[in-house]
Structure 1
Amino acid sequence: MNFPFKQLLSFIALFILAIFANAQGPSKTIISGKVIAEGSNQAVMFATVMVGNTITKKTIDGTTTSEDGTFKLSTALPDSFYLQISFIGFKTKTIENLNISNGRVNVGTIQLEQTANELDEVKVVAERSQTEFKLDKRVFNVGQDLSSTGASAVDVLNNVPSVDVNIEGQISLRGSQGVQILINGKPSILASDESNALGTITADMIEKIEVITNPSAKYDAEGTSGIINIVLKKEEKKGMNGSISVNTGIPDNHSVGISLNRRTEKFNLFTQLGAGYRSMPRDNEDVNLNYLNNSLIESEGTDYRNEMFYNITLGTDYHINDKNVITLSGNFAYEVEDQPSLTNFSSYENGLLVSQWYRDEKTEATNPKWQYELQYQREFKDNKEHTLLFSALGSFFGKDQSSEFENVTTFGDAVDPFQRTETAFSEANYTFKADYSKPINDEFSFETGAQYVITDVSNDYAVFDFVDNGFIPDSSLTNLFNYNQKVLGVYGTASYEKDKWGVKAGLRAENTDLSTLLTNTNESNSQDYTNLFPTLHVSYKLTETLSLQAGYSKRIYRPRLWDLNPFFNIRNNFSIRTGNPNLQPEFTDSYEVTSIFIQEKYSLNFGVFHRRTTEVIERISTFQDNVNIVTPMNVGTNQSTGLELNAKYNLSKKVTLQGDANYNFFKRIGDFEGTSFDFNGDQFNSKLTTKFKLKYNIDFEVTGNYRSQYKTVQSVVSQNVFMDLGIRKKIINGKAVISASVRDVFASRFQESVVNQEDFYIYSYGLRGRFITLGFSYGFGKGEAMEYSGSRRR
């Protein structure tokens, strides 16, 4: 798709210049001084220095002290102001009645008094909860998760409460796969269904993961079960900082990464470099049984996805002044795939073996992907929460893949076709977004904004059969499928907060314009629809330790490319997945009530939720000539009611327990081609993590998982129990960390399902197996190894 980039850049330039024209504030005063520890006279590094308004008590500006304890900041001051200095292990000190002389305030040397009581209290805070609960989301701090050592973002997600990643890498939230994945709060090619780019993000690149089960109108309405936002680290300490990490594992899982940051008064330059190799074997077993003629096809084998991957991220924050910041960043990743597989087939008729053969696959692919973003943020002088944000983001993912398939008969009649496929895939995304936030007073505020997202995809797939010593194209399987979607959204929210209670209401309107074209048959499909998505959140603080929250939102799940493309891949000729170009979007009304109880030694989060989904998309199996053809269909409605419990208990100073349990009961109503799919079912998932603090700065962690059996419209999915382990030791005064993890200790995390219909029976089994990883991380400059999450600029 040709996009008018010159016009876009001109528009951005005019937009920013127009704002800068009004960005000049009153004259500024330079405040300087030095902070030392009382008694030792040693400089206190990275202490927080805050300037406040004496009358309103609101923060005006702030900074942190440098390595020698000095600080300097330039800001506009009111007639009456004060200075507050604080740091871990010291009493907070407030300085008032300051005088301005020649545009400067020099407070000289400030001594901070140490306090053992506060230091002990800070030690507790520093070991912050693995999961933090906020008004409309839960925050999972990745740095505390030992079993994620050397893991990818997909593995980290599997340890987040209420989130599940199955063996195929499909991500679900509270049992639903209609979830939207964001990177740093925005759509990203790194989270695309068509790529494996989440695998290029390692755990030590992630600061936190936010789980938003009932998003406000500010967020995309996409994702029927909610939003998962992956926030990447960006070091912001002054000077040169960074860290390097090296990982190795079995099966092959080797990577090296480096993160660098250079911070000055005006610029924050950051980069991340990574490279690695991994092997992801998978054992498969399938059975297709035809009840009508008593014929049976069995298959078993192992396929691999071996990858070399490289990625680089570059970016800069330019602080034009204290109120205006421009960020320009880009990411490039490149994967080289090798996917060998060998599958053994056996054919039976009336219980007798008729033939046997194996199918040998050799697949190679290269996947370039890149992303770039320009962002401008302005903070208005009347209130730091009064902000304007404008961003333009573009991304691309490509795949150039070739495969060879050869059948070799070992028993019975010889049918040995030799086939070749070629795939040229490309996806381009453009997102333009503007957000404006304005506090009216201390209690009332509102937000508004708009977003325009363009997705343009092309999938060119060709199949060649080996005939008469040469390959000729198979026109019945060769196709070019084009997919184009444009989504325009506008929103507004208003919130009102008192001391004990608050309410936030919003409305989002989205227009979707979707078109698909199958060029070889000239089959086209278009959809154009506009929907309203209201949201409501209420919170009430019963006591200092007990709060209640309630929320409602309406969500949408739009069919993806592979849901719509009617053609299929020939990787396994007896198990085929194909799309449905007439598929309609799902709509979900989501309600939840949550209580949060926090005490000194334990915290408890208990919630009740209900979801009603219409036009539910389900994978329906049909059986033709012993071939299982799976196609997505809109099949009726689903009502799901669930209970969720998250708890953490500090058993002692050395042992902490954290548990997560989720139960939901669902009722399905629907039919397909005259067949009723009405049924009831339930599902239960639980997780328990035990953390131990051992001698010699060693941390040990054990996580057990249980997933119950559950039903879909046709299949029964088996229950699952598995365990992860992690251990970590800090060395070199905490600047370096040695870690090890074992995921799926007993190799019991399998995916097993059975479809048992009147005319056919289908059994499917898959297992990834045990993964062992050893990692080393070292932080240099003012950086820290592995656990540091960048502080906000003050």
Structure 2
Amino acid sequence: MPTLTRRPIYIAFLMLLCTCVRAQGLELKGRVVESGGELPVEFATVKAIDPSNGDMLTGTTTDVAGNFTLTVPQPGITLEVSFLGFAPTRVEDVRGADMGTIVLKPDGETLDEVLVTGERSTTEFRLDKRVFNVGKDLSSSGASALEVLNNVPSVTVSIEGQINLRGSGGVQILIDGKPSVLTADNGNALGTITADMIESVEVITNPSAKYQAEGTAGIINIVLKKEEQRGLNGSVTVNTGTPNNHSLGLSVNRRTAKFNLFGQLGVGYRTFPEDNRGINRDLSSGTTILSEGEADKNEQFYNLILGTDYHINDRNVLSLTGHLAYEIETENAITDFSVINSAGNLTDAWRRTEATEATNPKWQYELNYKREFDAEDKDHVLIVSALGNSFTKDQSSEFTTNTSEGEALFGDQLTRTDFGQTEYTFKADYTRPVSEAVTLETGLQYVLNDVGNDFAVSDFIDDDFQLVPELTNRFEFQQGVLGAYVTSSYEGDKWGVKAGLRVEQTDLSTVLVNTQEANDQNYTNLFPTLHTSYKFSEAASVQAGYSRRVFRPRLWDLNPFFNIRNNFNVRAGNPNLQPEFTDSYEVTGILIVGDLSLNAGIYHRYTTDVVERVSFFQDNVNVTQPINLGTSRTNGVELNGKYRPAKWMTLSGDFNFNAFDRTAELEGVSYDFSAEQFNGRLVTKFELPLDIDFEVAGNVRSGYRTVQGNVSGFSYADIGLRKKILKGRMIFNVSVRDAFASMIDESEATQPDFYLYNYRQRGRFVTVGLSYGFGKGEAMEFGGQKQF
């Protein structure tokens, strides 16, 4: 056969052969190791790339031994292998099945580049909220959620755990966008959440109608970590500190095509010391009660979070999460009391010793179903969820009195508290994009809160403890809130607007079982919201918003019982307390110029039926009780900024100032006044040689006037240091909170017939920690705060 005749046959044969090879595919096998040894690189990314256009054809990851198997559609592809901290390696024109051993070489520049990507701004701004990324605050290492919140712009946390937003209470605390039992108990239960568990904190000063209307100052949403990287990822952490802050934690995530399994386990022991002083002076009789003491609260905690996301198919996901926490508390306190008569002479003196034991089991579960209706439009969704949680406390306290002069005004006592709270939330949210610019949202929610608290006090009389009937009772609290909302939003290239309306019906009942004192409340309220934004350029935009909010009295605001550690300064609830309502307005501008980002805003709040704690004084005993007291008008300005003056230095800070007018009348006496307050924070971060980061944070909170007196201001400093080891897979941390022990809670109340002074201090906390991340390594972008 002539050559020219055979050539077309050869060409046809070769084309058929290539087609067959392409149809069958080519299975590649190989192993990935580090240079300088045979250490395998687990979970390295292996991608097959089309050399003609650079598109990825398929991919996989290596196993724990560094091995991989990958079927590619045809020979001649480019194989790319990469892993965090190593330079990517490419093999061109792959035609054989055996790839042998592929070596990855460390690349400091690549590692630095990835870590810089992870160094997001401390605060990110969005249409109706700000997001604070916890991982960038070195001084949060080993901290609890309360200490993390104290580093968030606009948020302050008092030494008692009282959370304020822009200087105001009435904040609703959410976890992953939902109410949680961990945010109850005056916020103290937030100590079971530690910094390493938190991804970010969202500050929503003007929430849309989609959110519950609870919280006059706004909403703080704590977003917990839930890695969704393919393969196995996690970290092991250990830290120690003084005063006692010892803990061990494990965080693990495993992702497959159908399931995402995640879990966190933590155990630890902590001590919270406290120094306190007090003055109760009866200006009518001239008698003064002085108290001075110290206390320490010791807490063992065990924390377990387990959850899974089951991807039924591309459009349906079912999630189940469970959280178990158990705390064992012991508290010891010693307080010395002295009675000074009008002539300045000591008449009585005694020491009161407290020994308290408590166990606090908690549990929470959530079942969540998400359906996406359109494969091309991920925003067309229905989310249905059921959330249940419980918090119980079994506590007993023994008070012993030893007299050194005269006669003690209070003798030996015993108290017992048996507390239980359950809360169930059922919610459905539906989002429907009408067009590329217009979106509709609607939803329903029902929240049921059921609480019971048995409280008993016994006095030591005639060589035996005898129950005190007037201080012993069972308090029952039940509240149901049914809410529905609808919102509509338009978001164009430059301008956007979102309007909404929420209606909530509240049914509340309280009863003191032993005395049958009952209080029932039922009310329905409307909560409109309006948000708008305009984008002048990529560097400048402005936002404005309005919302109406409500603060509903909580258990401890309504419960008339109190702790009797100091019988001369007691806190009690008010069963007849009514809700307070706030209309909130704000305008915010955002400007980014080079290495400077600046956020500036002004706001106004008008609150009616303000809930304020007021002192009632009789026989040198101060009983502090919340009551509805008039109105408040607040005008404020807030500044947040970040500046990088040098490659190795970053400055960030925030400042909030507001002036408020109080109109109040109590028992026929006017308490109208005007006052001002401010708080600020400046953080300086240095990126030093040898992969060391050093951070200093200065904080200041001004004093401010209250209805009956003044609260003093203070300033304090936090210090943090982080050292990256093993290419960033291991992190060493040192943090010092309140480095100069200058955070002091100090208040005075001055009235015509009495004077009160209270002082409390916690002191300095030092924590040293070590964290090791395993898996794909991306989790180590947050390695600096993995202290469980």
Return the TM-score normalized by structure 1: 0.86
1:331 corresponds in structure 2 to: 323
| 1:330-388 deviation digits (Å, cap 9, x = unpaired) | 11100001011000000010111101101011110000000011111111234111111
- Taking a change above 3 Å as real, the CA distance of residues 463 and 414 of structure 1, as seen in their structure-2 partners, is closer
The residue that corresponds to 2:687 in the other structure is 693
Aligned twin of 1:300? 292
1:594-627 CA distance string (max 9 Å, x none)? 0001133110000001000000011111110001
Change (3 A) 1:48 1:465: farther
Q: Following TM superposition, by how much is the alpha carbon of 1:47 offset from its aligned partner in structure 2, in angstroms?
A: 8.6
Tell me what 2:429 maps to.
435
In the alignment, the residues of structure 1 paired with residue 526 and residue 770 of structure 2 have an alpha-carbon distance, to the nearest angstrom, of 49
Contact 2:389–2:423, Cα closer than 8 Å, also in 1 = yes
Report percent identity of matched pairs.
60
Give the total of aligned pairs: 723
Q: 1:218 and 2:217 equivalent?
A: no
Which residue of structure 2 aligns with residue 250 of structure 1?
A: 242
Asked if 1:152 is matched to 2:107, the reply is: no
Q: Which of 566, 583, 586 matches 1:592?
A: 586
How far apart in 2 are the matches of 1:62 and 1:418?
A: 78
CA change 1:378–1:288 in 2 (3 A) is same
Match of 2:523 among 521, 524, 529: 529
Confirm or deny: 8 A CA contact 2:83 2:776 kept in the other structure.
Answer: no
Deviations along 1:535-584, one digit per CA (max 9) or x if unpaired, are 11100011221000001110000001111122333221100111111111
Q: Which residue number in structure 2 is paired with residue 76 of structure 1?
A: none
Whole-angstrom CA distance in 1 between matches of 2:26 and 2:586: 50
> In the alignment, residue 309 of structure 1 is paired with which amino acid?
F
How far has the Cα of 1:210 moved from its partner?
0.7
Secondary structure class of the residue paired with 2:639? strand
Query: 1:243 touches 1:783 (CA, 8 Å); kept in 2?
Result: no
The Cα of 1:782 is off from its aligned counterpart by 2.2
**For the Cα contact (< 8 Å) 1:326–1:374, is it kept in 2?**
yes
- The aligned runs of 1:406-445 (5 Å cut-off) are 406-413=400-407, 417-445=411-439
Tell me which residue corresponds to 1:555: 549
Q: Which residue of 1 aligns with 2:278?
A: 286
> Is the counterpart of residue 372 in structure 1 residue 370 in structure 2?
no
Please say if residues 285 and 300 of structure 1, whose CA atoms lie closer than 8 Å, have aligned partners that are also in contact.
Answer: yes
Identify if the C-alpha distance between structure 1 residues 284 and 530 changes in structure 2 by more than 3 Å, giving closer, same or farther.
same
Structure 2 matches for 1:665-744, cutoff 5 A? 665-744=659-738
| 2:514 paired with 1:520 | yes
What SS class does the counterpart of residue 321 from structure 1 fall into?
coil
Instruction: Mark the CA change 1:32 to 1:281 in structure 2 (over 3 Å): closer, same or farther.
Output: farther
- Structure 2 contact 161–187 (Cα < 8 Å) conserved: no
- Does the C-alpha gap of structure 1 residues 35 and 86 become closer, same or farther in structure 2, counting only changes over 3 Å? farther
Contact 1:735 1:784 in 2 (8 A): no
Q: CA deviation at 1:202?
A: 1.1
In structure 2, give the amino acid aligned to 1:66.
T
1:614 is aligned to 608
Which residue does the alignment assign to 1:356? 349
Change (3 A) 1:71 1:207: farther
Structure 1 distance, partners of 2:443, 2:248, is 40
Shift of the 626–120 alpha-carbon distance from structure 1 to 2, 3 Å rule, reads closer
Q: Tell me how far apart the structure 2 counterparts of residues 212 and 402 of structure 1 sit (CA, whole Å).
A: 39
Once the two structures are superposed, residues 61-103 of structure 1 have per-residue CA deviations (whole angstroms, 9 ceiling, x without a partner) of 9997534798899xxxxxxxxxxx9999999xxxxxxxxxxxx
**1:601 corresponds to:** 595
Query: Which residue of structure 2 lines up, in the alignment, with residue 174 of structure 1?
Result: 166
Is the CA contact (8 Å cut-off) linking 2:335 and 2:353 kept in structure 1? yes
1 CA distance for matches of 2:135 and 2:537?
A: 31
Secondary structure, counterpart of 1:724 in structure 2: strand
Are residues 653 and 44 of structure 1, via their aligned partners in 2, closer, same or farther at CA, if it must alter by over 3 Å? Answer: farther
The answer on whether the counterparts of 1:730 and 1:736 sit within 8 Å (CA) in structure 2 is yes
The amino acid across from 1:704 in the alignment is: G
2:252 maps to which of 257, 260, 272: 260
* Cα distance, 1:502–1:90 mapped onto 2, change above 3 Å: farther
8 Å CA contact 1:576–1:628 kept in 2: the answer is yes
| Residue type of the alignment partner of 2:490 | Y
Alignment partners' CA distance in 1, 2:708 and 2:192 = 35
Structure 2 contact 417–453 (Cα < 8 Å) conserved? yes
| Root-mean-square deviation over aligned CA pairs | 3.3
**1:77-226 equivalences in 2 (<5 Å):** 124-193=116-185, 196-226=188-218
**Alignment partner, residue 9 of structure 1:** none
Task: Tell me the amino acid that sits aligned with residue 529 of structure 2.
Answer: T
Pair 1:145–1:531, CA change in 2 (3 A): same
SS class of match (2:196): helix
Flag the structure with larger Rg.
2
CA distance in 2, matches of 1:740, 1:44: 30
**Candidates 257, 262, 267, aligned match of 1:270:** 262
Which residue is equivalent to 1:510?
Answer: 504
CA pair 397-48 structure 1, distance change in 2 beyond 3 A: farther
* Structure 2 gaps, min length 5: 1-23, 35-40, 50-55, 73-80, 89-106, 784-788
Match of 1:455 in 2: 449
Mark the CA change 1:300 to 1:695 in structure 2 (over 3 Å): closer, same or farther: same
- In structure 2, distance between residues paired with 1:698 and 1:424: 49
Amino acid at match of 1:405: F
Q: TM-score if structure 2 supplies the norm length?
A: 0.87
Structure 2 Cα separation of the partners of residues 328 and 619 of structure 1: 40
The whole-number CA distance in structure 2 between the counterparts of 1:725 and 1:385 is 42
Change (3 A) 1:62 1:224: farther
